[in-house]
Amino acid sequence: MTTTDILPYLAPGRRAHLVGIGGVSMAPLAEVLHGMGMVITGSDMRQSATVDHLRTLGIPVIVGQNAENLGDAELVIRTAAAHDNNPEIARAHTRGIPVFERAQAWGAIMKSYENALCIAGTHGKTTTTSMCTHIFLAARRDPTVMIGGTLPMLGAGHRVGKGDTIIAESCEYCNSFLSFSPTVAVILNVEPDHLDFFKDLDDIKHSFRQFAQLVPPSGSVIVNEDNEGARSIACGLDPFTFGLSDSAECTVANLTWDKGLPTFDITVHGEQYAHVSLRVGGVHNVSNALAAASAAWVLGVPGAAVEEGLNAFTGAGRRFEKKGTVNGADVYDDYAHHPDELRALLTMAKTLGYRRIVCAFQPHTYSRTKALFDRFVEVLSQPDVTLLAEIFAAREVNELGISSKDLCEKIPGSEYFATLKALTARLREITQPGDLILTVGAGDIYTVGEALVNGE
């Protein structure tokens, strides 16, 4: 990553080329820079609706990547998936064109907003960022938004607004969030993950503390009182706290459940702030709602907007997203790929009254599966039926010699499938009326539920 300051390059008339412009955080970046008067070009490996949208804005996008695409660019901004051996990146280095990470660009852009609300944590980021988006839109704050997933109300994972607030999902992987410039930092939880990059939990905590310390004295650090890791990194930073425990500054009162969905009051310093009936289940989503409400409270959003925003929230894409019905069973898909996320999902699912919970899980990355193996075994022993797809490699090569077969050997009654096609066939064979079918993981396991529902 270049140490050159990107800020002077982000000016009207400057020419930037974006490598991987169709990505979830690259596309909104292109829109924001284009709106600032910069001359933007880009490339992506595949054609998509996002690429089409950028072209309608007058941003030329080339599908396929080669050195000639740079044109007369004065700077290059790359997605995290583009490495130095990418032909465009390699040519930029040869020509002496500075190459910046997308996080560096977002961090610089945040400095132009009065409020930069950054949501971080090992899990829950996408849902909480989406809840914040609903609230701030209800408050008519016209925010700019960058989410690591699709939000149905936006039809995308981003939004370019004209208000004074930017809301950004902030990922710890490769310390990306340390390039951000938060005025409000939300820490949902700090747990072991991404151990292909971080050495251990202490290393992760160190990065999260650095992230929290980016907030200026006039800003706010918001921390989950119920999570030990989050509490520990905020020591001495005078955080605003949320949580289900009575000691939190923002907490719940009068919590009731109806068919797995919660209704509750949100109180701040003992005073009622909002009354909410969520359309997403699980205690973890009550906690996410408290996090979003805390961010709204410190930024002066009225409780009525919190109510309107949260009551309308039906979930982010791939977060307990209903795919359809097959053989009298409901099919849902979820992005959970960490044991804590899985536990939250399955705990919530058990409250919904289904006859059986059938979980088809695809582990994500060899390093995560190896590092958290025993925790995966424990949580995947909970469903009535557990089917295991092979590990989704993502960015990794299997140098650890690990397979989902290893999980299968430790999980009683589970079954292993080398291909998603075989897994789909087995699901179709065993599905019964009254079942809840869950396809779970951060890879391409979602295609199983879609194939099941579509009869493919």
Alpha-carbon distances, residue 36 vs 87, 146, 240, 255, 446 (angstroms)? 28, 17, 34, 45, 37
- For residue 48, the model assigns a pLDDT of 87
| Cα of 137 vs its chain's centroid, Å | 19
pLDDT tens, position by position, for the chain (456 residues)?
Answer: 567 889 999 999 999 999 999 987 798 899 889 988 999 999 998 898 889 999 999 999 999 999 999 999 999 999 877 889 999 999 999 999 999 999 999 999 999 899 999 999 999 999 999 999 999 999 999 999 988 777 888 877 788 889 999 999 998 888 889 999 999 999 999 998 887 888 898 999 999 999 999 999 999 999 999 999 999 999 999 999 999 999 999 999 999 999 889 999 999 999 999 999 999 999 999 999 999 999 999 999 999 999 999 999 998 777 888 999 999 999 999 999 999 999 999 999 999 999 999 999 999 999 999 999 999 999 999 999 999 999 999 878 999 999 999 999 999 999 999 999 999 999 999 999 999 999 999 899 999 999 999 987
What are the tokens at 140? 């008519």
- DSSP category for residue 167: E
CA 300 to chain centroid: 25
21/40 Cα distance (integer angstroms): 10
pLDDT at 35: 86
* AA letter at 64: G
Collapsing DSSP to helix, strand or coil, 313 comes out as coil
Burial 382-417 (b: 16+ CB within 10 A, else e): bbebbbbbbbbeeebeeeeebbbebbbeebeebebb
Cα 209 to Cα 144: distance, rounded to the nearest angstrom: 25
- Give kind and range of the element (H or E) at residue 108: helix 102-110
Separation CA 285–CA 345 (nearest Å): 10
pLDDT score for 100: 96
d(Cα 256, Cα 275) in Å, to the nearest integer?
12
Domains and CATH numbers, the chain: 7-101 (3.40.50.720), 113-312 (3.40.1190.10), 321-453 (3.90.190.20)
Identify whether the C-beta of residue 332 lies closer than 8 Å to the C-beta of residue 321.
yes
Residue 178: DSSP 8-state? G
Contact 28, 159 (CB under 8 A): yes
Which residue, 415, 246, 260, is CA-closest to 347? Answer: 260
CB 290, CB 255: distance < 8 Å:
no
- Residue 230: strand pairing partners: none
Assign 440 to helix, strand or coil. strand
To which residue do tokens 């080329």 refer?
Answer: 17
Residue 18: C-alpha distances to residues 10, 69, 148, 160 (Å): 13, 10, 18, 17
β-partners of residue 184 are: 117, 220
CA distance 120 to 187: 5
Strand 75-78 relative to strand 99-101, pairing: parallel
Going from the C-alpha of 398 to that of each of 234, 371, 411, the distances in angstroms are 36, 14, 22
**Phi, psi angle pair for 229, to nearest 5°:** -60, -45
* Sequence-separated (6 or more) residues with CB below 8 Å from residue 305: 135, 136, 138, 139, 140, 296
